[in-house]
């Protein structure tokens, strides 16, 4: 395929996108780039006034995002990526830089400032080539930016609020998404549309072409700097030419040929790009094709082969409460951790080192300490602790997954093999002992707490005066709903054995309007009255027949205008892209009769029970949200 060679240069490389933006992931996936996503932890707090121009701020932020990920991943040679890509999109109007709005009022301020005017959207991009020398990370940074001008129509206050209540502005620079509803606000776009969406693909490809296909010296003068090399240019490149700027270490070579590497030679010196070298990287002079024929490291496959070891290392460190000890007492030497936990020193040291290499811990001459994310997610009292779910994964899901082969052969759950118990009802399995029940509730609580805000704000729910969270367990989502919609009456409906055990999970400061907990079985008992019924991670537990029973019960008590809100991992319609959700569907296979479903499948189920106007919001968090209204 003619366009392939530019991105094809990256095929054998470990490419990392240092961005949580689903749009950037989609733009790059759509053109066939294979990459890992490692969202950056760099906080976008650079002092804006210290930059002479808005694009400089975007470029520097992109660079810092990418460098943070490159540094984090480079702990052991095996973890060092080849290329890290970072990006930052901003809107500039009246010499002000607008980023993502922090709340609805902020979105209103931004959008009213853009109304009736032209503004610029800048995306800064950094491409960092990494290599490892000894223990040292060496980076070569290429950065550039792209500007697109966008003009908004005059927008009424009413229209702006309607748009803001759609929830779309919140994670978008300038408070709008041109690719969706926000497109309706736009009168014209001058420049690269994808740049507005978050990633200037065309300029990125040009930059790769510059880096990987520098023209032979005699043709330099004839190449226009603003065009991607034509199809012929790619196809006619000989191996010798095409590899001349490969960012790989060449055995025996120890000098830089900067004329080959530096895109800032006159012909490539685009006004809006630069290349900076830090550390020491040697370009490959591939005269004889030797490295072309060398075995390429299939890093993705190797990572998958190692995946179970990494999971187990995380599970064991969590189970032994190492992150808890390090939070309160760190930094600690391996011997001190071993003494605290009661484990062997040699085993503890290896486990801690593995956790460092996996980016969970930091190691200095003073010992081991938690990373920020270990404090937040891995300690049992972290703000968004996943400890409960990790223990559930270790104690419950791991034994089930070891029977995945049987589950695939037989097409059914494996509880009998994993736990020696004949599979009954899914929840009878969980609630047969107090210990298993509490572990399961802690697991569900940790996911519900982590996703609650995104689920509660995916749509504006203020029209619903009362809500019933069916299977709402510990009430984590219910409490979040009350925070966001203080006038909403929220009821959690769950099995009696769950309701009897919720007290441990309630927030310490009591909400003014507390959540009501009602016990019952939603398949058998009457449902509490409500304007909105929530089913969060409920439908995926059940086969279609059971879902029809539940939806017809809800439909029977729902008046026209009332709704259902589903929170689930929504698969893409082709079921080939969202690996987290597809792996979760295997998780449902080994332990339930349910499965994860696509947006169309959920829509089909809901419409059969008189629910229409089905809207699906992919939140970027673990759970996506579907809202529909009874006609």
Ligand X SMILES: O=c1[nH]cc([C@@H]2O[C@H](COP(=O)(O)OP(=O)(O)OP(=O)(O)O)[C@@H](O)[C@H]2O)c(=O)[nH]1
Q: Which residues are at the interface with ligand X (CB under 6 A)?
A: 19-21, 23-24, 39-40, 44, 65, 87-89, 100, 171-173, 176-179, 182, 196-198
Identify the active-site residue in 88, 143, 324, 531. Answer: 88
Residue 116 Cβ, how far from ligand X at the closest point, in Å?
Answer: 18
Closest residue to ligand X in the complex (CB): 198
Q: What is the Cα 376 distance to its own chain's centre? A: 16
What are the C-alpha distances in Å from 98 to residues 147, 158, 171, 176, 199?
14, 22, 12, 11, 17
**CB nearer ligand X, residue 83 or residue 476:** 83
Measured distance CA(60)–CA(547) in Å, rounded = 50
- 45, 330 Cβ separation under 8 angstroms: no
Taking each helix axis from N to C end, the angle separating 334-341 and 345-357, rounded to the nearest 10 degrees, works out to: 110
**CB nearer ligand X, residue 148 or residue 591:** 148
Residue 182 Cβ, how far from ligand X at the closest point, in Å?
Answer: 6
**CB nearer ligand X, residue 100 or residue 203:** 100
H or E stretch at 586: helix 579-591
**CB nearer ligand X, residue 89 or residue 451:** 89
Residues 6+ apart with CB under 8 A from 281: 129, 131, 138, 140, 247, 249, 256, 261
**CB nearer ligand X, residue 98 or residue 237:** 98
Q: Give the single-character DSSP code of 183.
A: G
Is the preceding omega at residue 331 within 30 degrees of 0, hence cis? Answer: yes
Count of alpha carbons within 13 angstroms of residue 114, beta-carbon side = 27
Residue 62 Cβ, how far from ligand X at the closest point, in Å?
Answer: 8
SS3 per residue for 215-238 = CCHHHHHHCCCCCCCCHHHHHHCC
- 138, 167 Cβ separation under 8 angstroms: no
**CB nearer ligand X, residue 5 or residue 124:** 124
Angle made by CA atoms 512, 516, 518, in degrees to the nearest 5:
170
Cβ-count burial 175-199 (b if 16+ within 10 Å, e if not): bbbbbeebeebbeebebbbbbbbbb
Report the candidate in 94, 91, 153 with the shortest Cα–Cα distance to residue 120. 91
Residue 58 Cβ, how far from ligand X at the closest point, in Å?
Answer: 8
**CB nearer ligand X, residue 175 or residue 283:** 175
- 493, 557 Cβ separation under 8 angstroms: no
- Sign of the dihedral through C-alpha 64, 66, 68, 70: negative
Residue 372 Cβ, how far from ligand X at the closest point, in Å?
Answer: 15
**CB nearer ligand X, residue 57 or residue 542:** 57
Measured distance CA(268)–CA(207) in Å, rounded = 9
**CB nearer ligand X, residue 10 or residue 98:** 98
Measured distance CA(16)–CA(80) in Å, rounded = 10
Residue 389 Cβ, how far from ligand X at the closest point, in Å?
Answer: 23
Residue 65 Cβ, how far from ligand X at the closest point, in Å?
Answer: 6
Residues 6+ apart with CB under 8 A from 366: 331
Measured distance CA(165)–CA(600) in Å, rounded = 24
DSSP string, 497-564: HHHTT-GGGS-SSPPSSPPEEEE--TTTSPPPP-SEEEEES-GGGS-HHHHHHHHHHHHHHPPTT-EE
Residue 544 token pair: 């279609």
Residue 580 Cβ, how far from ligand X at the closest point, in Å?
Answer: 17
Residue 322 Cβ, how far from ligand X at the closest point, in Å?
Answer: 28
**CB nearer ligand X, residue 182 or residue 200:** 182
Residue 191 Cβ, how far from ligand X at the closest point, in Å?
Answer: 13
Active site residue 88: yes
Question: Any bridge partners for residue 521, and if so which?
Answer: none
Active site residues per annotation: 88
């Amino acid at each position: 395929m003619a366009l392939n060679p530019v991105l094809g240069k990256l095929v054998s490389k470990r490419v990392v996108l240092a961005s949580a933006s689903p749009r950037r992931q989609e733009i790059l996936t759509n053109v066939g780039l294979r990459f890992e996503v490692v969202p950056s932890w760099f906080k976008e707090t650079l002092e804006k006034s210290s930059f002479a121009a808005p694009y400089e701020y975007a470029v520097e932020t992109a660079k810092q995002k990418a460098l943070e990920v490159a540094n984090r991943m480079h702990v052991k040679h095996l973890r060092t990526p080849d290329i890290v890509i970072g990006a930052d999109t901003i809107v500039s109007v009246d010499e002000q830089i607008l980023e993502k709005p922090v709340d609805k009022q902020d979105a209103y301020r931004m959008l009213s400032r853009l109304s009736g005017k032209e503004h610029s959207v800048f995306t800064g991009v950094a491409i960092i080539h990494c290599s490892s020398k000894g223990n040292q990370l060496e980076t070569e940074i290429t950065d550039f930016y792209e500007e697109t001008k966008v003009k908004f129509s005059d927008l009424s206050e009413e229209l702006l609020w309607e748009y803001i209540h759609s929830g779309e502005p919140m994670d978008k620079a300038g408070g709008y998404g041109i690719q969706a509803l926000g497109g309706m606000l736009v009168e014209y776009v001058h420049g690269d549309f994808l740049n507005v969406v978050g990633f200037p693909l065309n300029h990125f490809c040009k930059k790769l072409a510059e880096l990987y296909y520098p023209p032979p010296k005699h043709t330099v003068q004839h190449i226009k700097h603003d065009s991607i090399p034509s199809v012929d240019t790619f196809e006619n490149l000989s191996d010798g030419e095409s590899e001349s700027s490969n960012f790989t270490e060449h055995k025996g070579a120890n000098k830089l040929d900067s004329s080959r590497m530096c895109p800032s030679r006159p012909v490539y010196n685009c006004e809006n790009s630069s290349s900076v070298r830090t550390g020491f990287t040697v370009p490959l002079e591939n005269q004889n094709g030797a490295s072309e024929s060398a075995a390429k490291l299939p890093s993705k496959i190797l990572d998958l082969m190692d995946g179970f070891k990494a999971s187990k290392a995380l599970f064991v460190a969590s189970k032994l409460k190492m992150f808890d000890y390090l939070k309160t007492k760190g930094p600690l030497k391996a011997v001190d951790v071993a003494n605290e936990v009661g484990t062997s020193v040699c085993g503890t040291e290896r486990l801690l080192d593995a956790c460092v290499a996996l980016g969970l811990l930091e190691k200095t001459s003073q010992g081991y300490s938690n990373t920020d994310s270990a404090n937040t997610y891995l300690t049992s009292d972290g703000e968004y602790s996943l400890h409960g779910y990790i223990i559930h994964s270790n104690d419950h899901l791991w034994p089930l997954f070891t029977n995945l082969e049987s589950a695939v052969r037989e097409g059914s759950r494996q509880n009998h093999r994993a736990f020696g118990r004949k599979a009954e009802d899914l929840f009878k399995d969980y609630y047969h002992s107090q210990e298993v029940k509490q572990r399961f509730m802690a697991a569900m609580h940790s996911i519900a707490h982590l996703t609650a805000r995104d689920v509660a704000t995916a749509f504006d729910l203020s029209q619903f005066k009362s809500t019933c969270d069916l299977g709402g367990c510990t009430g984590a989502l219910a409490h979040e709903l009350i925070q966001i919609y203080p006038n909403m009456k929220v009821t959690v409906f769950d099995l009696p054995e769950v309701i009897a055990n919720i007290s441990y999970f309630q927030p310490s400061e009591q909400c003014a309007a507390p959540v009501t907990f009602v016990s019952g079985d939603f398949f058998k008992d009457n449902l509490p009255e409500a304007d909105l019924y929530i089913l969060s991670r409920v439908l995926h537990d059940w086969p279609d027949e059971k879902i029809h029973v539940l939806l017809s019960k809800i439909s029977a008590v729902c008046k026209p205008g009332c709704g259902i809100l589903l929170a689930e991992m929504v698969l893409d319609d082709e079921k080939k892209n969202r690996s987290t959700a597809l792996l979760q569907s295997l998780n449902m296979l080994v332990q339930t009769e349910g499965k994860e479903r696509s947006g169309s499948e959920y829509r089909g189920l809901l419409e059969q029970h008189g629910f229409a106007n089905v809207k699906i919001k992919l939140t970027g968090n673990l759970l996506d949200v579907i809202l529909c209204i009874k006609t």
